[in-house]
Structure 1
């Protein structure tokens, strides 16, 4: 892409419609893309307004899709998902709505699977070090510490 190309509002709007149609985006992604296209603030505002009006950009839908995907594919816990959504400046309301997308039963089953898989992959003999390694792994993935410690007590 030629870094000096300029876009009309119409061209940039179409470009961003395609960008949003390809996968759900948050406002921050769209804003960043418009900055890369060197659009002036007034044009950025107008384009974002159009994308919202025509439902190409929907923060609630983005947050829900993000939460489902990161949980199912990357096996992230609620804390990590929440942190990542906050980093993308998603509203508190939409974060709460997004976390409701995760089924509680499936959540606990996934934690069990991750826990067992991690336990089997480690060769550590010292029980304290073993527990620490498992805890660190699950905390990094954003699982709640009280759930992790409940699982560790089963060893």
Structure 2
């Protein structure tokens, strides 16, 4: 490894140590530094070997954070992770870390909070707005309607 690449490795390792990154983000950063092809792949392989770069770790922390902090559903998390180049095993593992009970109770919590903000007397309009809101957050339609239906009983 040349001195230039060793210096680049130190810089990119620092970039990855700051927060979890995807390989796609690292490649973009290396592109900005005019490091391409085999050199970039060598640096990425070294980051993985040294533990600075792990897409599984990134996906798990991203999914958990977006679920807990932003209240995102699995559909929205999946879409965002796919945009960031995370698919397959890592994506499934990240979603599996969201407990089904927590997932449903978070949806109920979001719907209850939103209900307090809706100013409409027509129950059908309120239900439609709640469903649209929950779907926009990335929750599955069958779960949304199940939760909204259970509230009527």
* TM-score normalised by L of structure 1: 0.90
1:62 aligns with 58
Pairwise CA RMSD of aligned residues? 1.4
Count matched residues: 149
Unmatched segments (≥5 aa) in structure 1: 1-6
Query: Quick one: which of 127, 130, 133 aligns to 1:131?
Result: 127
CA distance in 2, matches of 1:25, 1:92: 17
2:145 aligns with 149
Query: Quick one: which of 54, 70, 73 aligns to 1:74?
Result: 70
2:31 aligns with 35
Whether 1:19 aligns to 2:9 is no
Unmatched segments (≥5 aa) in structure 2: none
Structure 1 residues 16-70: Cα deviation after superposition (integer angstroms, max 9, x where no partner): 1111111111111111111111213222111111111111111111111111111
Higher helix fraction (1 or 2):
2
* TM-score normalised by L of structure 2: 0.91
